[in-house]
């Protein structure tokens, strides 16, 4: 069964704009991870945030985690056409990792 649910399902923005994707989950977690999947390719790990962390940065990526609301957000700043992909959150809970259905991001040049 799925754990994380991403929102929105699809997002279309112009190059240079920021993109925000959200993930909600149901059970307590050990950590939450974000992955990117280009069309026809495998998933690539982007960033991991532990349950005792609230915010993490990596380059143009910013992830927040609110365990009281059981939600996380992924912000991509100054988006580029190459950021076009599907983005998935994955929650780890008791050695069990579950993925959401993903947000399809399209960045128009």
Partner 1 sequence: DTAVSQTPKYLVTQMGNDKSIKCEQNLGHDTMYWYKQDSKKFLKIMFSYNNKELIINETVPNRFSPKSPDKAHLNLHINSLELGDSAVYFCASSPESGNTGELFFGEGSRLTVL
Chain residues binding partner 1 by CB under 8 A are: 2, 30-31, 33, 35, 40-45, 48, 86, 88, 90, 92, 95-99, 101-102
Return the number of the residue (41 or 57) whose C-beta is nearest partner 1: 41
Shortest Cβ 16–partner 1 spacing (Å)? 27
CB 28, min distance to partner 1, A = 15
- Cβ proximity to partner 1, 22 vs 30, nearer residue: 30
Write down the least CB distance from residue 106 to partner 1, Å. Answer: 15
Q: Are strands 31-37 and 43-50 parallel, antiparallel or unpaired?
A: antiparallel
Task: Name the minimum Å distance from CB 45 to partner 1.
Answer: 4
Of the candidates 70, 55, 88, 68, which has an alpha carbon nearest to the alpha carbon of residue 24?
A: 70
Which residue, 3 or 79, is less far from partner 1 as judged by CB? 3
DSSP 78-105: S--GGG-EEEEEEEEETTEEEE---EEE
H or E segment and range at residue 45: strand 43-50
What is the rounded distance in angstroms from the CA atom of residue 70 to the CA atom of residue 11?
22
């Amino acid at each position: 069964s799925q754990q994380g649910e991403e929102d929105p399902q699809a997002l279309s923005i112009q190059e240079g704009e920021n993109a925000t994707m959200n993930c909600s989950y149901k059970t307590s977690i050990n950590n939450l991870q974000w992955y990117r999947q280009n069309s026809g390719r495998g998933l690539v790990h982007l960033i991991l945030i532990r349950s005792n962390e609230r915010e993490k940065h990596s380059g143009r990526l910013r992830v927040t985690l609110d365990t009281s609301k059981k939600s996380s957000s992924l912000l991509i700043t100054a988006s580029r056409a190459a950021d076009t992909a599907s983005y998935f959150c994955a929650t780890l809970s008791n050695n069990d990792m579950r993925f959401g259905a993903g947000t399809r991001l399209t960045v128009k040049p």
